[in-house]
A and B are shown apart, each in its own frame.
Chain A
């Protein structure tokens, strides 16, 4: 149990479906992240939220839409995905300090959501 919980753990969706991944952290952190891990590729940072504000969008296609309603919850809305989007999607959280450029703090990961697009 890492303190970061992701649901669902496994998801199979068609290319025309709309689904969402959910992440919740119980660590009192204020920065949350979405990462994508494809087979045989390094972890790719997708989005960063600090104090509920998106501070990083790593050229992610618009078919991925993040939402951060509060510091404890993060969603990734999925729409008209492609088979190459099949991957493990990892949520993570850490402490961040408002107004300062980075905290250097440890990032804690959830267990991931395995997504298969058919």
Chain B
């Protein structure tokens, strides 16, 4: 059965800290890995990773995929209170756009 696991499930850090969120997957016909940020409402897209070893960056956020070890990490440097959210990892299959979401990591950044 396809599954996506995230760790930790929750995390509390102070502003300015650097955090690493983990995502591992066991998915047949894997195509790409997606990261989303969810703040009370709908998830907003962060990154899509298709190839191993190529880091994607957006401001203080970066992410990388390892297709051999079947995991991805999301790094956030110099965290701010606005980074507080649930970060969702999802594995996309080749078959008809099916996407399997992980449980999310709830990040709280305190001043």
The interface centre, meaning the residue of B43, B48, B97, B100 with most chain A CB atoms within 10 A of its CB, is B97
- Are A45 and B45 interface neighbours, CB within 8 A? no
B45 touches A106 (CB 8 A): yes
A100: shortest Cβ distance to chain B, in Å? Answer: 9
Q: Are A101 and B41 closer than 8 Å at their CB atoms? A: no
Stretch at the interface among A59-67, A74-82, A107-115: A107-115
| B side interface size, CB within 8 A | 28
How many residue pairs bridge A and B at CB < 8 Å? 72
Contact of B95 among A43, A44, A101 (CB under 8 A): A101
Interface centre among B34, B100, B101 (most CB of A within 10 A): B101
Asked if B67 is at the interface of the complex by the 8 Å CB criterion, the answer is no
Interface of B is mostly: strand
Within 8 A of B (CB), among A69-111: 90, 94, 96, 101-104, 106-111
The reply to whether B48 and A50 form a contact with Cβ atoms under 8 Å apart is: no
Residue contact B41 to A56, C-beta cutoff 8 Å: no
> How far is it, in angstroms, between the C-alpha of A44 and the C-alpha of B99 when the chains are bound?
9
Given the known A-B contacts A2-B44, A90-B42, are A102 and B34 also in contact in the complex, defined by CB atoms under 8 Å?
no
Does residue A68 face the partner (Cβ distance < 8 Å to B)?
Answer: no
Distance in Å: Cβ of A15 to nearest Cβ of chain B? 26
Q: Please determine whether B45 and A108 come into contact, CB atoms closer than 8 angstroms.
A: yes
Q: Which of B36, B41, B48, B103 contacts A104 (CB 8 A)?
A: B48
Q: Mark interface residues in A38-59 (1 if CB within 8 Å of B CB, else 0).
A: 0001111100101000011000
Q: Which of B36, B41, B44, B99 contacts A45 (CB 8 A)?
A: B99
Which one of B13-21, B56-64, B69-77, B86-94 is at the A interface? Answer: B86-94
**B94 touching A42, Cβ below 8 Å:** no
Q: A50-B97, A102-B93 are in contact. List 18 more A-B contacts (CB 8 A).
A: A2-B42, A42-B88, A42-B104, A43-B88, A43-B90, A45-B98, A55-B96, A90-B42, A90-B43, A94-B97, A101-B29, A102-B95, A104-B31, A104-B92, A109-B36, A110-B42, A111-B42, A112-B42
3 closest A-B pairs by beta carbon, nearest first, are A109-B42, A43-B101, A102-B94
